[in-house]
Amino acid sequence: MRPILMKGHERPLTFLKYNRDGDLLFSCAKDHTPTVWFADNGERLGTYRGHNGAVWCCDVSRDSSRLITGSADQSAKLWDVQTGTQLFTFNFDSPARSVDFSVGDKLAVITTDPFMGLPSAIHVKRISRDPSDQIGESVLTLKGPQGRINRAVWGPLNRTIISAGEDAVIRIWDVETGKILKESDKEVGHKKGITSLQKSVDGSHFITGSLDKSAKLWDIRTLTLIKNYTTERPVNAVTMSPLLNHVVLGGGQDASAVTTTDHRAGKFEAKFYDKILQQEIGGVKGHFGPINALAFNPDGKSFSSGGEDGYVRLHHFDHDYFNIKI
């Protein structure tokens, strides 16, 4: 399995997202410029220029026509995927951390960081079909959690929003009323900040990764803990295979502690676990810094990782991968 090395970002990667067809890969980094690549050969298609700060997150609409990005420049932007033009800018009073389109792409949930005395917040925006009708007003704004909300995604049928972040608590919010329906149990939940969250393809469960060196699998409706995966370093990114029962964890120390470790080349690996048995089944080395982003192609036949080293590594699995037995 020879990785394709994709160099286009000048700063650490923050987020990776495939479109639904699996032919495009979108990458976000701290260098202000989200980039789109061909997902089969890693060729760079183009960039989206306009942000003025690190871009933390992105999402692409189901028909691959619209891209939404959230940035430290205190804005979230809507883009035309094909032309790269900016269609609309949502302005906030603090950095935009996480963005997620609803099923049907008529709504987007955007989270903003605590900043200059403002608490963190979750904003729901209506997304118009025609960019000229787009308005910036929020349909709903949720506040409450302490610390940064690192990720917020839509629950089943867009009726709920699931949020997780620095306070290590996962919350399920009712979109109609804005109230908290469920919070993760302190006993079984994460002990340190949650860095990443990803839903399964069927939307029935989701996985979270945390600085407490573990990833956990949860039922999306009841918030019951299903599985637990432990590793020896903080987890910055998690993803699940849409094809096989595999979970992938990526991580490393906090960026500030990187200088204190030995520099054995490519020591930072993406670790594969059996989703059911919770055992480690393999790893893919290569990055020269912590892995900050992971994504599986929707066909399950390739995955990509983005690192603190500024590279995206695209891996097409060998035939053997599909026959791994424990």
- Give pLDDT tens digits for 183-196: 999 999 999 999 99
Which amino acid type is present at position 233? R
| CATH code: domain of residue 28 | 2.130.10.10
Residue 11 has what pLDDT? 96
Whether the CA torsion 186, 256, 118, 292 is positive or negative: it is negative
The string over 3-33, giving b where at least 16 C-beta atoms fall within 10 Å of a residue's C-beta and e elsewhere, is bbebebbeebbbbbbbbeebebbbbbbbbbb
Residue 259 has what pLDDT? 57
Residue 2 has what pLDDT? 87
Domain with 218 in it: 3-322
pLDDT mean across residues, the chain: 94
Q: Where are the alpha helices (DSSP H) in the chain?
A: none
pLDDT tens, 286-307?
899 999 999 999 999 999 999 9
pTM: 0.94
Tokens of 188: 């079984």
Residue 326 has what pLDDT? 73
The residues, ordered by sequence, that sit 6+ positions from 95 with a Cβ below 8 Å of its Cβ are 53, 56, 70, 71, 72, 73, 74, 112, 113, 115
The residues, ordered by sequence, that sit 6+ positions from 78 with a Cβ below 8 Å of its Cβ are 66, 67, 68, 86, 87, 88, 89, 90, 127, 131, 134
Examine the pLDDT at 257 and tell me if it is beyond 70.
no
Cα distance between residue 24 and residue 295, in whole Å: 12
Residue 216 has what pLDDT? 98
pLDDT tens, 99-157?
999 999 999 999 999 999 999 999 999 999 999 999 999 999 999 788 999 999 999 99
Q: What total of structural domains would you count in the chain?
A: 1
Query: What 3-state class would DSSP assign to 61?
Result: coil
DSSP for residue 308: T
- Nearest-5° Cα angle at 312, 310 to 316: 160
Examine the pLDDT at 273 and tell me if it is beyond 80.
yes
